[in-house]
A and B are shown apart, each in its own frame.
Chain A
Amino acid sequence: MSVVDRQEWDVVVVGAGGAGLRAAIEARERGARTAVICKSLFGKAHTVMAEGGIAAAMGNVNSGDNWQVHFRDTMRGGKFLNQWRMAELHAREAPDRVWELETWGALFDRTKDGRISQRNFGGHEYPRLAHVGDRTGLELIRTLQQKIVSLQQEDMKETGDYESRLKVYQECTVTRILKDGERVSGTFCYERESGRFFVLEAPSVVIATGGIGKSFKVTSNSWEYTGDGHALALLAGAPLLNMEFVQFHPTGMVWPPSVKGILVTESVRGDGGVLRNSDGKRFMFDYIPDVFKEKYAQSEDEGDRWYEDPDHNRRPPELLPRDEVARAINSEVKAGRGSPHGGVFLDVSTRMPAEVIKRRLPSMYHQFKELADVDITAEAMEVGPTCHYVMGGIAVESDTAAARGVPGLFAAGEVAGGMHGSNRLGGNSLSDLLVFGRRAGWHAAEYAAGLTGEGARPPLDETQIDAAAAEALRPFSAEGPEAVPTASADGAPASGAHPPENPYTLHQELQQTMNDLVGIIRREAEMERALEKLAELRVRARRAGVEGHRQFNPGWHLSLDLRNMLLVSECVARAALEREESRGGHTREDHPAMERSWRRINLLCQLTDPTGGLAATDPVAGQIDLVNETTQPIRPDLLALFEKEELVKYLAEEELYE
């Protein structure tokens, strides 16, 4: 069984999105032999979907911008739950990371004087987002991809082999982090194309696998977002942080079914689009919370005047923060005032002439024309909330991106937690990828380089490899329920009369559960039901079986991904049940207020069975333990960037007067 091909590297990067590629570039440039491993083809990662831009306080458009302002905006956006040191590093380093892209060939949109143009975005005080039309993510991924190719070209010149120091294993999946005691020793992987197993032996592993959106039914995320990195870290013994914070974007497409969840950009509302229910009413006026009463228009007339004259009128309530709008849409639909396909109407057709719409919103015009056959210049769009981003993630050291408690494990990008607190600002994710991708690559390379001398590197453990191989093969020998209850059932002959579970069905049920019970508005009883349902799915998932063979078999791949989605979903549900307040991306109907006392509390998820042997886990009790942890106080010089009146809203008494 354990005759598995193995290769030795210094650093293995799991994931080839913005963070993974940036980490790989950094590690390779610091001399580490680096392997990147990704589920899709090289250059197809979910980063390509990012539209708006990269937030970086370069001050090209408004010279008043600087890192302190960016830091402030980020902390406010995250409701002060952010790991402040990460937010500081992010704000300080983002401009350098963007400029560096230009030296690798990126072509951003320009200002009149030839510098990188920057645009306004929600929550950012100044125009701050470097962008390329509405395809900034594509530019980012392509630039990093081409930089990797250029490094490979250099290696080709020197060594005669493109892949001698930097190799991309595309269409491969990692199912386990291998360890030697506490330390990382490598990864267990399979090739999606052939189903062949292999092991990458390395002392440093950087996890950069992105998010978890595929556990929800309606999501803007791609199939890759099955929470692999979160689960790998958990299984390797690293804790996840604040997993209850999931961002729902208020406007995703709801129809046709094929594109349900795909984003409808915020600029539709910014340019004058209004939200209506099935009665034709602009319902957002009914949903202005008291704290915002002064800042938003109270009548349609005033709201309409704001577009022309923002200085003397208040903005329309369609432009409330994302979480408010998402909740309002949710309530309207639940009250039976939704659109035919379960959303609400977002209308620009009666607000602007057709040619203005086409000029200002070209990509939206085409998106609806091509995917929904809807002409947004003539009729309203149907939109509804969609799962967009997870703020929570692997708990990491701010400066080094090292995962806690597992030497050699690093994490960057969406899979890492802390940076965005309870809510992420638009544009901050691309800069996050670059800043912390680089830091992860840097420290991973440094850690690997530090392990010199005979026997310094952690050796592979054959029994772990065998166990990982058996785990990955289980779906091919799935049996009826009789054979399931204990781990020893592996390989036992089938005796049950029931057919194996269909992984696609299980996945659909999981998505429905998370969407309905741990979605945008959360209630204690529903989340408890979700946990029960998750336990049931977990049992059934162990019987997930597939036909055919290992060569490019999507059913098999999904069966393996189910383990990760179930683990991560349990983390989200448990943390959400625990946090009895509403903050950012976590809304509790039974605890609607933000509590200052909760600001200092981080919720850490850990595996109940620290050996990571899932087979031994009791399906009812669950696999996850929660730990409450009090955060470090914010550094005084950073606190001093805020007015006292503002801090009072967020910080507990004792924090203010320390």
Chain B
Amino acid sequence: MSSYEARFKVWRGDVKGGGLKDFEVEVNDGEVVLDIIHRLQATQAPDLAVRWNCKAGKCGSCSAEINGRPRLMCMTRMSVFTREETITVTPLRAFPVVRDLVTDVGFNYDKAREVPAFVPPAGVGPGEYRMMQEDVDRSQEFRKCIECFLCQDTCHVVRDHEENKPAFAGPRFLMRVAELDMHPLDAAADSGLDRKRTAQDEHGLGYCNITKCCTEVCPEGIKITDNALIPLKERAVDRKYDPLVWLGSKIGRRRT
């Protein structure tokens, strides 16, 4: 068991302003960045604001940017840094800051509300649902999402362009659209809701230029781009840009 003093720069402040503050703090074997932030709280900065919860990478609360990269603080081991390195911790930079490491992630909750919910199939009662494992696999991958919003934070569409926020749902909620569109029993189509079309028309799928940062930062390892966003783009193509499909549907051949 060995411990050493590490150099940290932690952003402190609020919406009115702030900056990186220097700290020297003890680090012990096996600790993660969140432990160090907690040590700062307990010893040097009792009012240092940080959001966290399960401390096991399952709730997605402690999202921050460590050395400029969006990460979960509880899943970033100190051993990935050298002892000489100064470790910089800042709040998520795509969202309004509240205080210190805490940001206002309300954008994501607003976007969640804009995605129409699962539509249960008519005439199928509770307990009568029959779904095959291979049919739920795809949506289950997306439901592993812990809503840490790191993908929303890193996505340049809104990170670098605040003005796109109203029009763009972000990777997490485009993935939610994909999840519902791939749900074997979602009956949105029967209720007149075309998720493939609304993905582009209402949730801003076209803003995505598939540069894959969402996939890179996902702590759950969900293949957001390859398995959700691109398939969703292809589904939108089915609806809007594929004359063969259009012709097919005109002739009355129904696709599954």
Contact = CB atoms under 8 A, between A and B. Distances in A.
A104 B120 CA distance: 7
B61 A40 contact: yes
A44 B147 CA distance: 9
A107 interface: yes
A150 B46 contact: no
A372 interface: yes
Given A48-B146, A110-B132, A551-B14, A259 B56 contact: yes
A478 to B, nearest CB: 12
B54 A256 contact: no
B30 A372 contact: yes
B30 A110 contact: no
Interface string B178-221: 00100100100000000000000000000000000000000000
Given A103-B129, A150-B118, A42 B47 contact: no
A553 interface: yes
Contact of A135 (B53, B104, B144): B144
A95 interface: yes
A111 to B, nearest CB: 8
Contacts of A555: 41, 46-47
A149 B180 CA distance: 14
Contacts of B235: none
A373 B77 contact: yes
A496 interface: no
Nearest to B139: A107
A259 B78 CA distance: 13
A102 B34 CA distance: 36
A99 B117 contact: no
Contact of A149 (B54, B61, B113, B132): B113
A449 to B, nearest CB: 25
B17 interface: no
Given A41-B61, A258-B30, A46 B54 contact: yes
A95 B125 CA distance: 13
Interface in A248-270: 255-259, 262
A258 B41 contact: no
B131 A554 contact: no
A504 B46 contact: yes
Interface in A507-564: 546-549, 551-556
A104 B119 CA distance: 8
Nearest to A224: B53
B113 A548 contact: no
Nearest to B34: A258
A142 interface: yes
B31 A258 contact: yes
B121 to A, nearest CB: 9
B30 A102 contact: no
B240 interface: no
B117 A146 contact: yes
A49 B54 contact: yes
A546 B47 contact: yes
A632 B245 CA distance: 69
A132 B46 contact: no
A552 B99 contact: yes
A28 to B, nearest CB: 14
A258 B59 contact: no
Residue of B30, B99, B132, B145 ringed by the most chain A CB atoms within 10 A: B30
A309 interface: no
B55 A552 contact: no
A49 B133 CA distance: 24
Interface in B124-142: 126-127, 129-133, 136, 139-140
Contact of A107 (B14, B120, B140): B140
A96 interface: yes
B112 interface: yes
Contacts of A372: 30
A554 B30 contact: no
A554 B51 CA distance: 9
A508 B203 CA distance: 47
B25 interface: no
A109 interface: yes
A153 B129 CA distance: 24
Nearest to B105: A41
A182 interface: no
A548 B132 CA distance: 56
Interface in B1-46: 14, 28-32, 34-35, 41-42, 46
A462 interface: no
A107 B136 contact: yes
A102 B31 contact: no
A504 B41 contact: yes
B113 A152 contact: yes
B41 A110 contact: no
Contact of B53 (A40, A42, A104, A114): A40
A592 interface: no
Interface in A203-242: 222-224
B59 A44 contact: yes
B52 interface: yes
A551 B99 contact: yes
A78 B242 CA distance: 62
Contact of A554 (B50, B79, B120, B143): B50
Contact of B32 (A40, A44, A115, A258): A258
A223 B126 contact: no
A548 B46 contact: yes
A102 B116 contact: no
B133 A99 contact: no
Nearest to A171: B51
A209 B246 CA distance: 53
A103 B54 contact: no
Given A114-B131, A132-B140, A256-B30, A546 B46 contact: yes
Contacts of B42: 502, 504-505
Contacts of B59: 40, 44-45, 48-49, 222
B54 A554 contact: no
A99 B126 contact: yes
Contacts of A321: none
A257 B31 contact: yes
Contacts of A146: 117-118
Interface in A85-114: 95-96, 99-100, 102-105, 107, 109-110, 113-114
Nearest to B136: A107
Contacts of A548: 46-47
Contacts of B140: 107, 109, 132-133
B49 interface: yes
A44 B186 CA distance: 26
Nearest to A117: B133
Q: Sort A-B residue pairs by CB-CB distance and give the 5 closest, nearest first.
A: A256-B30, A150-B117, A105-B118, A548-B47, A114-B130
Given A44-B59, A48-B54, A554-B41, 9 more contacts: A42-B109, A49-B59, A95-B127, A103-B120, A107-B140, A133-B140, A193-B98, A547-B47, A554-B49
6 contacts: A44-B60, A96-B126, A103-B129, A105-B118, A110-B132, A110-B136
Interface of B: 14, 28-32, 34-35, 41-42, 46-61, 74-75, 77, 79, 98-100, 102, 104-105, 109, 112-113, 116-118, 120, 126-127, 129-133, 136, 139-140, 143-147, 180, 183, 186
